[in-house]
Amino acid sequence: MKLATLRTRYGTTAALLLPGVGFLPLPAGDVGGLLAGPDWRGTVAAAVDTAAAGATVPEREADLAPLLPRAAKVICCGLNYGDHIAEMGRDRPEFPTLFVKFADSLAGARDVLEVAGSAKVDWEAELAVVVGATLHRADEAEAAAAIAGYTVANDVSMRDWQNRTLQWFQGKAFDAATPVGPVLVTADEFPAGAGFTVRGFVNGEPVQAGDTSTLVFGPARLLSYISRFTTLRAGDLVLTGTPGGVGMGMVPPRFLADGDVLRTEIDGIGVLENVLRIHPQDQDLHQQLVTKESAA
């Protein structure tokens, strides 16, 4: 089953993708709201049973919102691909490196990404996990059973801000710059551990490709680990990390430019395609202040 969140003139709605037909709106404001309901599979089945003719939105006409526009927790894992760790000559980590974004950080699968105030905008193609049930100090089996499904994300990172201090957060949480979607594929249809390829492209040129079976901390293990310190709930989102091939790691480093097209895809889930609008010269208030102080 594939679920999406669509923008409509009345706000957003959760929707079911009917292959070859289009998106059928569901009685929930977004996929997170649907999953938080008491019986979301029943809700979907009832909507299909009672769907009126012409109730669907053709796939090409759908305006895809961020999959989880109100996610309470968006937690990301850093260095997590065996192949990437090997190419970097690093040791396999004992613990996952975790940081966060906000629901505000998320963007739709075809949204233009507007970034002001950064000159080092980089890409990170990732598999993301959508939580489907409450997890508190859960073991791996419980965590696996609580995975609603998977989606595609690009952890677009402002490296200049990320590296201003030791903590990456400020370079990771720019509003509306992390595309997520186009759909959630339910866990029963996506055996993540079997090995799917996460791919990133810039203007059509392949830059990243990673095999999800080489994740050091797989989806269930990540969710279990996180749940030891904070409760996860239906509609929360966990990004599993990016494989090698980010711009910062290139020699010389390469960053996204205004007008670039960033494509992110995972077979069996779908494709994100986002045009970048970058305004690196945009006034940075801190620099203004520093200049003002220096002049004073």
Binding site for a copy of itself (CB under 8 A): 72-73, 78, 93-100, 102-105, 116-117, 137, 139-140, 158, 161, 164-170, 173-175, 221, 224-226, 228-231, 284-286, 289-290
**CB of 9 or CB of 92, closer to a copy of itself:** 92
**CB of 261 or CB of 289, closer to a copy of itself:** 289
Ordered DSSP codes for 124-159:
-EEEEEEE-S-BSS--HHHHHHTEEEEEEEE--EEH
**CB of 81 or CB of 99, closer to a copy of itself:** 99
Half-sphere exposure (CA, 13 Å, Cβ side) for 285?
A: 0
Please list, residue by residue across 229-252, b when 16 or more beta carbons sit within 10 angstroms of its beta carbon and e when fewer do.
eeebbbbbbbbbbbbbbbbeeeee
Residues ≥6 apart with Cβ < 8 Å to 164: 170, 171
User: Least CB distance from residue 217 to a copy of itself, whole Å?
Assistant: 10
Q: Kindly report the CA angle at 290 between 117 and 175, in degrees rounded to 5?
A: 25
Place of tokens 């003139």: 9
At 116 the three-state DSSP class reads strand
- Rounded to whole angstroms, how far apart are CA atoms 32 and 102? 14
User: Least CB distance from residue 175 to a copy of itself, whole Å?
Assistant: 5
User: Least CB distance from residue 100 to a copy of itself, whole Å?
Assistant: 5
Say if strands 261-266 and 270-279 run parallel, antiparallel, or are unpaired: antiparallel
**CB of 55 or CB of 176, closer to a copy of itself:** 176
**CB of 75 or CB of 187, closer to a copy of itself:** 75
- Rounded to whole angstroms, how far apart are CA atoms 167 and 151? 26
User: Least CB distance from residue 166 to a copy of itself, whole Å?
Assistant: 6
User: Least CB distance from residue 80 to a copy of itself, whole Å?
Assistant: 11
User: Least CB distance from residue 277 to a copy of itself, whole Å?
Assistant: 15
User: Least CB distance from residue 62 to a copy of itself, whole Å?
Assistant: 26
Taking the CB of residue 164, how many other CB atoms lie within 10 A of it? 13
Q: Work out whether the CA dihedral 71, 238, 47, 42 comes out positive or negative.
A: negative
**CB of 66 or CB of 270, closer to a copy of itself:** 66
**CB of 197 or CB of 231, closer to a copy of itself:** 231
